[in-house]
Amino acid sequence: MAGITQVSSNKCFGGYQKVYSHESEELKCKMNFSVYLPPKAEDAGVKLPVIYWLSGLTCNEQNFTQKAGGQKLAASHGCIIVCPDTSPRGCNIEGEEEGWDFGTGAGFYVDATEEKWKMNYRMFSYVTKELPLLISSNFPADPSLMSIMGHSMGGHGALICALKNPGLYKSVSAFAPICNPVNCPWGEKAFSGYLGSDKNLWKEWDASCLAATYQGPPLQIFVDQGEEDQFLKDGQLLPDNLVESCAKAGVPIILRKQAGYDHSYYFIATYLEDHFTHHAKFLQ
């Protein structure tokens, strides 16, 4: 396979859960990604739809594959799942290891513009450009049939990837996404570090701001939010702000608030089937 090295392979629900590494041109470092190939991937000449999963703060390419139970659903729907890491690794940038909510494990899926970070912290371009090309070049993936979803910081990432690239993804969904980072502590810390002090620039990476001005082809947004989520209560997630922006711009959105559920993968595993069903409608 061109440009990638297999790290692990495990048979799972008739297909294979694999991890690969490669040298990223966008991030200027070695990166891992996981890919689940359903049984249909072994059929000659087949091209399958791809769902990208973006994980949250402190996570890597393994969290979803080990905790969510998505392989059974992907096997049933005949789709590939790709999970990138959440940031560059080992770049030796001063300060990237000092906190759990900035730097390593916390790339926020933006392309940094600040001098210190802009060479390596280009997760947006990595996820939307470099990785899909790598996937379509090495696996039986149909680049015209892509959807994206994520959790928390990765939910923010999924939303902005879809809203900033009209038509690239057939659908988008998120669990407990950071919906309005320009107005929450996590976003303010990350954006000031990666993007600088100009808050107008921040708006270009904020799902609520992007939804308010969205003019692309129809995009159905599907969000699940646990009502007992500590980060919802702390004002980090702000899903109602996203709903308000979508209403103003006429962007369809489903926001479900789930009583009793928190921010964990127990919440994700409970409702993941609904998200696969949502994406399958648009990936025919």
The pTM for the full model equals 0.97
- Rounded distance between C-alpha atoms, residue 102 and residue 186, angstroms: 9
**What range does the domain containing 265 cover?**
4-281
| pLDDT single digits (tens) 156-213 | 999 999 999 999 999 999 999 999 999 999 999 999 999 999 999 999 999 999 999 9
3-state SS class at 177: coil
What's the CATH number where 12 sits?
A: 3.40.50.1820
Domain count, the chain: 1
Please state, in angstroms and rounded to a whole number, the distance separating the CA atoms of residues 171 and 283.
8
Can you give the pLDDT at residue 284?
Answer: 86
Q: Is 38 helix (H, G, I), strand (E, B) or coil?
A: coil
Give me the residue label for tokens 């129809």.
Answer: 218
Q: How long is the chain?
A: 284
C-alpha neighbours within 13 Å on the C-beta side of residue 69: 11
What is the DSSP annotation of 121-177?
Answer: -BHHHIIIIIHHHHHHHHSSEEEEEEEEEEETHHHHHHHHHHHSSTTTSS-EEEES-
Q: Tabulate helix, strand, coil % of the chain (nearest 5).
A: 35, 25, 40
At 212, list the tokens: 């308010």
Active site residues per annotation: 152, 229, 263
Q: What is the pLDDT of residue 27?
A: 98
Which stretches of the chain score pLDDT less than 70? Answer: 1-2
Query: Between the CA of residue 145 and those of 48, 53, 141, 175, 259, what are the distances in Å?
Result: 8, 15, 8, 21, 33
